[in-house]
Amino acid sequence: MKELLFIDCCIRGKDSRTRKLANAFLETLDQNKYHVTAVNPEAEGMLPLTGANFAQREKLVEEGTLDHPRFHYARQFAQADVVVFAAPLWELSFPAILKVYIENVSVKGLTFGCDADGLFGSCRGSRLIFLTTRGERYENSELEQGSRYLEAISKFFGFKDYSCIAADGMDAAGADPRIILADACGRARGLAASL
Ligand SMILES: Cc1cc2nc3c(=O)[nH]c(=O)nc-3n(C[C@H](O)[C@H](O)[C@H](O)COP(=O)(O)O)c2cc1C
């Protein structure tokens, strides 16, 4: 059984179109092949790395106390076979809570390492998948930074393969969001079925 980690950053919850896209993906996964663990960073109360929270993290990493409970999410991330992020496009990127999650799992000695040649990823996962919906269209646009950043961070953590499925133009003038979402859900089901 492979482990799939689903990181739910669909802030609008049941009203979220991105969550619907994620549901299409998750419902299609072969349950005999994948065990799914869902994490909602907001519900988990994850905090950004500031003040005492940052200081404690630095001290524990310095000491090598990597079995501390606060690194649970980093250990979980490092062990997953497939990681799926679901988040809408906000301010040309993604909601801050996803960055908070990334700050929390980015731990030297667990998800990445450092040697004479520099930094290297140490996650065992083979694939990182980003599911998103966007108000406007960003195909071939350099303005969209969310997927671009997640592709880079997936390399940083050592994932071999990155893919993004986006429903673009959900709020665009004259567009029918139901058709756009149905098309993206079809692609998400196809990707899930291929895993
Ligand atoms: C706070 C906020 C910021 C947004 N920023 C952008 C943006 O920069 N570009 C864009 O095209 N759409 C933007 N949108 C629109 C969303 O990307 C779009 O409506 C998306 O489908 C929302 O996903 P959801 O239904 O999962 O919440 C924004 C929406 C919100 C609420």
64-113, pLDDT tens digit by residue? 999 999 999 999 999 999 999 999 999 999 999 999 999 999 999 999 99
| pLDDT attached to residue 181 | 98
Which is it for strands 118-121 and 112-115: parallel, antiparallel or unpaired?
A: antiparallel
For residue 58 and ligand 1, the question of a CB distance below 6 A is answered with: no
Mean pLDDT of 2-17: 98
Distance 132 CA to ligand 1 centre (A): 10
For residue 136 and ligand 1, the question of a CB distance below 6 A is answered with: yes
pLDDT, one tens digit per residue, over 16-43 is 999 999 999 999 999 999 999 999 999 9
Which is it for strands 112-115 and 82-86: parallel, antiparallel or unpaired?
A: unpaired
Return the half-sphere exposure (C-beta side, CA atoms, 13 A cut-off) of residue 100: 18
| pLDDT attached to residue 39 | 98
For residue 146 and ligand 1, the question of a CB distance below 6 A is answered with: no
Nearest CA to ligand 1 atom 27: 16
pLDDT at 140 over 90: no
Q: Out of 18, 19, 21, 89, give the residue to mutate to test ligand 1, the one with the largest number of ligand atoms within 8 Å of its CB.
A: 89
CATH topology of domain 2-194: Rossmann fold (3.40.50)
Distance 31 CA to ligand 1 centre (A): 31
pTM, rounded to two decimals: 0.97
- β-partners of residue 132 are 166
For residue 14 and ligand 1, the question of a CB distance below 6 A is answered with: no
| pLDDT attached to residue 95 | 98
For residue 154 and ligand 1, the question of a CB distance below 6 A is answered with: no
Residue 134 Cα: closest atom of ligand 1? 17
